[in-house]
Amino acid sequence: MTREELLNSKEFDDDQMEQIELGFHHNLPDRQVFAYAKTEYDAGTMQFFREGLESGLAIRYARIYALPGFFKEQRDLIKKGFWEGLSVEQVESYANRDYSASKMEQMIGEFKQRFSFEQVAMSANPKLDPEQMQEVKTGFENGLDYDQVSLYAKHIFTPKQMKEIRLGFEAKLEEEEVLLYADPKYTHLQMEQMRLGFERGLTLEQVSVYSNPKLDEYQMEMLQADYYNGLTAEQIALYANVPFRDDQMIQIRLGFKNGLTVKQVSKYADPGIESVKMASIRKNLEALLK
């Protein structure tokens, strides 16, 4: 079909024909006008296609720019991707009308940082909010591999929980150590206490003793300190997962500090025994050591 035949075609409505005439009037080459002069394109799509071509986009790029359903800000970001050197495949991956402009902007930035398609797709998970997406991005920026980031790139984790998992990998913890606390049943503060335990040299067995979600972060911190004060996992396990009050735990710790065995301390390590009574039993047991 020639230009003259196109302009005289009866296949297009008046609005479509206006876009075709504007393309020629604005001195677009014939092949570019013919690229959008398709009956399956409505006038609006033709307009965006034409405007993309007039702004300097190649036909294959303008075709993406003209896809229906985008807001102006989204279209501008599609154009931005091409101007900044992204490939058609990269732009197509974020040219999604369901993506917010901020998400599209982030994906452009990640491609410019040479993130792989898999990495960008992970952070662009529509179930993740902007803060969660940022944690995924930060993990890759800090050198974590795909498998490590994929462990926490899940909507079930809050951004702060994600951060604790990420920090564990960045601190070179073993995967089994991170897996111990990479569970949404823990608050980010509980996760922090388990992570810090590993970073300070505690073993998997030792941290496992206080990995009870019923313990708050302060209790976990106290149990962690007990290891540094010389108590063993067996000793701490006696009271770690039992609802003792602070005054009762003091009596248990004093028993171990003063040389009592696990068997001896277990005689009074009962949450039903008042701390005053515990102290009396403890002192009687300690007297037997002399």
What confidence tier does 163 reach under pLDDT thresholds 50, 70, 90?
Answer: very high
Do 10 and 2 meet the contact criterion of CB atoms below 8 Å apart? Answer: no
Residue 153 has a pLDDT of 95
Convert the chain into a string of H (helix), E (strand) and C (coil).
CCHHHHHCCCCCCHHHHHHHHHHHHCCCCHHHHHHHCCCCCCHHHHHHHHHHHHCCCCHHHHHHHCCCCCCHHHHHHHHHHHHCCCCHHHHHHHCCCCCCHHHHHHHHHHHHCCCCHHHHHHHCCCCCCHHHHHHHHHHHHCCCCHHHHHHHCCCCCCHHHHHHHHHHHHCCCCHHHHHHHCCCCCCHHHHHHHHHHHHCCCCHHHHHHCCCCCCCHHHHHHHHHHHHCCCCHHHHHHHHCCCCCHHHHHHHHHHHHCCCCHHHHCCCCCCCCCHHHHHHHHHHHHHHCC
The residue-averaged pLDDT of 64-68 equals 88
* Intra-chain end-to-end CA distance of the chain, in Å: 110
Residue 204 has a pLDDT of 95
Query: Does the pLDDT of residue 229 top 90, yes or no?
Result: no
The residue-averaged pLDDT of 32-36 equals 93
Do 142 and 170 meet the contact criterion of CB atoms below 8 Å apart? Answer: yes
Q: Among 63-77, 139-153, 163-177, 266-280, where is mean pLDDT lowest?
A: 63-77
* pLDDT tens track for 6-27: 888 899 999 999 999 999 999 9
* pLDDT tens track for 98-141: 888 988 998 999 999 999 999 998 988 888 888 999 999 999 99
Query: Does the pLDDT of residue 290 top 80, yes or no?
Result: no
Residue 281 has a pLDDT of 96
The residue-averaged pLDDT of 53-70 equals 89
Q: Which amino acid is at 218?
A: Y
Query: Does the pLDDT of residue 273 top 80, yes or no?
Result: yes
